[in-house]
Structure 1
Amino acid sequence: MTTTHTSAADGADQSRPRREELRAFLRSRRARVRPEDVGLPGRGLRRTPGLRREEVATLAGIGVSWYTWLEQGRVINVSDSVVESISRVLTLDRAERAYLYQLVGLQPPEDKVVEDAAPMPELRRLVDVWSPYPAYVLDRWWNFIIINRSAQAVFGLRGHGQNCLVSFFTDEKYRSFFANWDTLAPQVVADFRGAAAAYSDDQRFAVIARRLRQESPDFARLWDQHDVRKESNGTKAVLHPVMGEMTFDHLVLHPSSRHDLRVTVHLPREGFTARRRLERLLESHPAPDVLGDPGSEAAGGALTG
């Protein structure tokens, strides 16, 4: 561990509020940890509550002087491993750990998502109350795991277990709902490549792409162009056999605690008139038996193996 010496001209004063907050934060977290909670004797006279600085340093495997400098708010280099060690000793929770990363000037690592975990129950309620506006949730491999009635009625979706990308390129009925399919297709492929890049070690993306290269000449042509983009909002022109043509602006959201999930809601441009048309469509559209079961195979993905 090395100290970084700076002059007043290098902008050190600009980070002073953050360093003062770092000092106060570490002291407050240290004060709340009882020695006996970390295997140290809890008896005896202590001038301050909680752990001593040297105890934190020893338990974290770092130098006492170095930790003292850190808590004093000195400008020093801090590594991810040191933040992790200090977080463990001070028993920081997820939010506190991320905050410590930010205070020392590092990017907090993304929380590891448990694969095949069921979607949050709150998401189901949110997607349902968005009706009559079509909304659904995709997992990281773009399998539909939650779909509201309106999305089923407007896009002809069958229910959970259906893969959005595969249906978009191989299901003629699903494809026929999009009046601007030719415009959407390059964006969809570029979005999927970008999503796959975020999970470079996950071979299930390659399985889906390999299947589609064999089954869809359109996908193979677009995939070979190697276009990539970060998913964004967009517009879908829908040709519905009952409602006729409608234009939706779709908004893509990611829950803060589940970045692997992709929540999409579609807002019609025609406003109140379109809402009434959607409500009438739902009145004539029978409620399905299953809209997506969080405990089903959909949570793990129907096309991930």
Structure 2
Amino acid sequence: MTHDTNMLGEYLRARRELVTPASVGLPRLGVRRVPGLRREEVALLAGISTDYYLRLEQGRDRNPSVQVLESLARVLQLDDAGTAYLLGLGSDRPRRRRRRPRKEAVPAGIRGLLDSLAQPAFLEGRCFDVLAANPLATALSPRLVAGRNRLRDVFLDPAERSLYPAWEEATAGLVAGFRQSVGTDTDDPRFIELVGELSLASDRFRRLWARHDVRSREGASVTLDHPQVGALTLNREKLVVSGSAGLVLVVYHADRGGENAEKLGLLSSYQAAPVTEAPANRTARPTHDDQRRKPAPR
């Protein structure tokens, strides 16, 4: 899966299949062979020729103008993240040879910050590998430890899936954020490994990946069904680490003075441990052990 693939055409085709004729003011007449818009309808609404749009989808023209891409984004009803992704796919980039696996290291300042935070927090790599986590994050989920991968756990680990009452919504957001994080850098061996494994192991991942949804990695409210404290609603912030190649610090916190803050306080009484950190050159696949922290003796 390299830059030689027709990423622009695949994205255009996937997105037009999700746009209904009624949503763009077209009458639905007769039997339609496609679930969304036809190619000629997209071309008409974008103000370009059908032949030119066909060349874009087939990968015979990979460098359309910004104006054309913005018109297509409007027709395909893309949000800001989707539009930025489309513009990136249409930019003229030199081809690069496949590189060695990335080495994602934990900055010393972030390691110290994790150790000092009184909220659950972990450091996430470009492919959603957990690079470091503090003890309260591990109390939130035993899978939040260095060496694990968020995509693999949420899709393939039943215990992690059970944490999310709205699992389908959570997985949709996770995959869309993953696509935005990787962008056009699809020759990354880590990316190739993950997409290949999850496409074979998870029907849900395969369907979501085919949609080509894109979403910025940003904060949101998340509700967990925690085995120790029950329903727990937290604010999840995603903070880009300056000077890094796509590292994100994820921090969970509760609104002050409420039931969720009390429950988070209960989790903080679990056994503390030093910040866990992945090796700088991680190549081994995470093991599926149960690393749940036990309550400290009273």
* 1:1-305 matches, cutoff 5 A: 115-131=102-118, 133-157=119-143, 159-269=145-255, 271=257, 273-283=259-269, 285-288=270-273, 291-293=275-277, 296-297=279-280, 300=282, 302=284
Give aligned-pair identity as a percent: 26
In 1, the alpha carbon distance for the partners of 2:224 and 2:256 equals 13
Residue 238 (structure 1) shift:
0.7
1:216 and 1:193 map into 2 onto residues whose CA distance is 17
- Mapped to 2, the partners of 1:254 and 1:302 lie a distance apart of 26
Match of 2:10? none
What is the CA deviation profile of residues 22-43 of structure 1, one whole-angstrom value per residue up to 9, with x for unaligned ones?
A: xxxxxxxxxxxxxxxxxxxxxx
Kept in 1, the 8 Å contact 2:143–2:153? The answer is: no
1:67 aligned partner = none
Alpha-carbon distance in structure 1 between the residues aligned to 2:121 and 2:184: 24
Once residues 172 and 257 of structure 2 are traced to their aligned partners in structure 1, the CA distance between those partners, rounded to angstroms, is 28
> 1: distance between equivalents of 2:113 and 2:195?
31
Cα distance in 2 for residues equivalent to 1:192 and 1:246: 25
> Which one has a larger percent helix, Structure 1 or Structure 2?
1
2:296 is matched with none
Superposition deviation, residue 282 in structure 1:
2.5
The range that moved more, 159-168 or 225-234, is 225-234
Unaligned 5+ segments in structure 2 are: 1-100, 287-298
Deviations 1:32-65 (A, max 9, x none): xxxxxxxxxxxxxxxxxxxxxxxxxxxxxxxxxx
Matched to 2:110, the amino acid is L
Cα displacement string for residues 207-249 of structure 1 (whole angstroms, at most 9, x for unaligned residues)? 1011001111111111111112222221210111111101112
Letter of the 2:229 counterpart: M
1:172 Cα offset (Å): 0.6
Q: Report the 3-state secondary structure (helix = DSSP H, G, I; strand = E; otherwise coil) of the residue aligned with 1:224.
A: helix
Mark the structure with the bigger radius of gyration: 1
Q: Give CA deviations for 1:175-205 in whole Å, capped at 9, x if unaligned.
A: 1111221211111111111112153431321
CA contact (8 A) 1:160 1:293 kept: yes
Residue type matched to 2:233 in 1?
T
Return the letter of the residue paired with 1:243.
V
Instruction: Give me the whole-angstrom Cα distance separating, in 2, the residues matched to 1:162 and 1:301.
Output: 12
Residue type matched to 1:147 in 2? A
Deviation at 1:158, TM superposition (A): 5.4
When the two chains are superposed, the root-mean-square deviation of aligned CA atoms in Å is: 2.3
* Number of positions where the alignment pairs a residue of Structure 1 with one of Structure 2: 186
Note closer, same or farther for the CA distance 1:271–1:192 as it changes in structure 2 (3 Å cut): farther
Alignment-derived partner of residue 66 in structure 1: none
User: 1:105: which partner in 2?
Assistant: none
TM-score using structure 2 length: 0.57
Q: Secondary structure at the match of 2:211?
A: coil
Please report how far the alpha carbon of residue 116 of structure 1 lies from its aligned counterpart in structure 2 after TM superposition: 1.1
TM-score computed with the length of structure 1 as normaliser = 0.56
| Cα distance in structure 1, aligned partners of 2:283 and 2:114 | 19
What code does the residue aligned with 1:291 have? V
| C-alpha distance in structure 1 between counterparts of 2:154 and 2:131, whole Å | 16
* 1:159 shift after superposition: 1.8
CA contact (8 A) 2:133 2:146 kept: yes
For residue 217 of structure 2, give the secondary structure of its aligned residue in structure 1. coil
- The answer to whether the Cα contact below 8 Å between 1:151 and 1:157 also exists between their aligned partners in 2 is no
8 A contact 1:163–1:302 mirrored in 2: no
